[in-house]
Amino acid sequence: MSASHENGVATREMQGEETRARLLAVAVEALDNGGEQAIKVREIASALGVSVGAVYHHFESREDLIVAARIAQFEGVLGGDVDAIRELVEGSSTVDELRRGMQFLTRAAHSGARSRFRRLRAEVAGVAAHNPDLSAALARAQNACTTQMAEIVAVAQRRGLADPSLDPRSVATFLQAVSLGLILDDINTVEPMDLEAWYLFTDHVYESMLATD
């Protein structure tokens, strides 16, 4: 195979990946704005100026496109959280720096402004309960996220920043569960809790995960 042919194949593959990413982005936007019923293959194809056949070249069916869009929604929320924790651990040289960083991230991640993202994760999980394909894809996405976060916790332990006796995967799961669990307060419009009191409580709990100064 000639070099020019190989380059042509690589270029077509890259273009194909870009087209798929653009189709997925439009589908996610439709999903955000109008739910699954808003994902219409012809409209998505028209929005990008491609044929309906091009959509089905990248996605086996409308259902396949919906599953991919749901997972993109889910990963879009989780990815930022993982990156923030990774940057915090990599940028902390002392336990106190990690402590202050955790306090900052907690207040950012647990704020009312993040309510939409908590609800989105719960929504995707709820829909997956009745969709085997989405359920399987969601399991892979969540496992990847938890694995990445557990690896970050393990790095913090090796660097003497986090308690080495704790199971990294358990810590990773707990950190995610605490944030997602706030959806209970998000829906409680009768008597929501005092966020400042919540932050003090979580500071206390997270303190037990840090290494002893």
What pLDDT does residue 12 have?
Answer: 57
pTM for the predicted model, two decimal places: 0.82
Position 179 pLDDT exceeds 70? yes
The residue written with tokens 């699954």 in the block is: 36
15: tokens are 């273009």
Confidence of residue 5 (pLDDT cuts 50, 70, 90): very low
**Residues 135, 142, 98, CA angle at the centre, nearest 5°?**
160
For residue 105, give the 3-state DSSP assignment.
Answer: helix
The mean per-residue pLDDT over the stretch 168-194 comes to 94
Domains of the chain plus CATH, in order, are 1-59 (1.10.10.60), 63-207 (1.10.357)
Per DSSP, the three-state class of 210 is strand
Q: What are the φ/ψ torsions at residue 146 (nearest 5 degrees)?
A: -65, -40
Percentage of the residues of the chain whose pLDDT score is greater than 70: 92
Contact 44, 30 (CB under 8 A): yes
CA distance 69 to 125: 13
Q: Report the candidate in 204, 108, 200, 91 with the shortest Cα–Cα distance to residue 156.
A: 91
Q: With both helix axes pointing from N to C terminus, report the angle between 62-91 and 3-34 in degrees, rounded to the nearest 10.
A: 100
Element (H, E) at 80: helix 62-91
Identify the band that residue 6 occupies on the pLDDT scale cut at 50, 70 and 90.
low
For 78-123, the pLDDT digits (tens) are 778 899 999 999 999 999 999 999 999 999 999 888 898 898 888 8
Other CB atoms within 10 Å distance of the CB of residue 75: 17
Beta bridge partners of 32: none
* 49-84 tens-digit pLDDT: 989 998 999 999 999 999 999 998 888 877 788 999
pLDDT of 209: 96
| Residue 4, pLDDT score | 53
Looking at residues 128-153, what average pLDDT do you find? 94
Sequence letter at residue 90:
E
Residue 201 one-letter amino acid: F
Look over the chain and give the mean of its residue pLDDT values, rounded to a whole number.
90
